[in-house]
Amino acid sequence: MEAELNFNISPESDGERLDLVFVAATEGVSRSRAQAWIRAGRVEVDGVIQERPGFHVRAHQTVALRVMEVSQKEVRAPERSLELLHEDADILVVCKPAGLLTHGNRVGDPSVSASLQASHGPLPEGSEAERAGIVHRLDRDTSGALVVARTTAALESLQTAFRERKVQKTYEGIVFGTPRFDSDWIEAPLGRHPKHQDRQGVLPKGEGREALTYWEVIERFQDFAHLRLQPKTGRTHQLRVHLASVELPIVGDPLYRGRGGRLACLPEGAPELGRHALHSSELCFAHPTTGEEVSARAPLPLDMERALEWLREERPKS
């Protein structure tokens, strides 16, 4: 592999951790990024790959950061270009299609990050190369607006904005059930489900992490409803868990179901969704460089539009 960076271990650094001497010898590289490169097999010591950030180096050894090699088999061109809702030198806002990962688990996985790097060039890596440019994420089967950073400064600024709840997120979902009210708040702490480690759950008061969701009815049907959703916190699977907890599970969600564990499905004869009916419809936030408001809206996808049209015709609210 071709070297991107070479340096020698000074006598003063004899016996220190590899990740620490790497950060000390380079400019603008965080410890988390250095650790990610080491674990990915991109760092050699005296010509031998070292994948342990805690490896203890010796004086006068040579450390090299290598160019990441990705075979042609691993590079998968996106099947189609992502729809751009906003584009400038610092950020991109895309409309993520259902079924596409926000970021891959390894380099080469089809994802929003990989697709944008193929079409727009390198994105800031942050702590992991697979998550290049990613500020926040949408579940694989959730469609809609997603902001991606094009510079390190924008990445860090937007991550802070999400963490400090300065980004307004609006979703739309089709749920099974009859909402008791036209709008309401769900305030229930979330955390790892005690019995199912692959999912989240509502935990007793005083446990888990604070989670708050506002919802309102857009349209009612017999046994179904079209909701507008605004999560005020950003917990994993928050909307899906919260809605199922109040007996309004999202249609098509295989993990988070209503009472009795039955999958919430559209009636026989309805258009096939093939995924859960949740869509990120709008993002509003301050631009990380100019401070001006960015408002990006993603139109409802065709599969959800067809489902709503069918409900209006076959399940009108009497």
Sign of CA dihedral 112, 117, 123, 128: positive
Contact between 103 and 129 under an 8 Å Cβ cutoff? The reply is no
Say how far apart CA 97 and CA 81 lie, in whole Å.
10
Check if 184 is active-site: no
Contacts of residues 190-199 at CB distance under 8 Å and 24 or more positions apart, as own/partner, are 190/235, 190/236, 190/237, 190/238, 190/241, 190/242, 198/255, 199/237, 199/241, 199/255, 199/256
- For residue 318, count other CB atoms closer than 10 A to its CB: 5
Contact between 270 and 291 under an 8 Å Cβ cutoff? The reply is no
State which H helix or E strand residue 25 sits in: helix 18-25
Q: Which phi and psi (to 5°) does residue 215 adopt?
A: -135, 155
Contacts of residues 68-77 at CB distance under 8 Å and 24 or more positions apart, as own/partner, are 68/40, 68/42, 68/107, 68/129, 69/1, 70/107, 70/108, 74/107, 74/108, 75/108, 76/108, 76/109, 76/110, 76/114, 77/118
The structure tokens 């859960």 sit at 276
What's the distance, CA 288 to chain centroid?
19
Which of 19, 139, 141, 253 is the catalytic position? Answer: 139
Work out the end-to-end distance of the chain between its first and last CA atoms, rounded to an integer number of angstroms. 68
Question: Tokens for 19?
Answer: 């990740």
Say how far apart CA 11 and CA 31 lie, in whole Å.
21
- For residue 88, count other CB atoms closer than 10 A to its CB: 13
Q: Which residues are catalytic?
A: 139
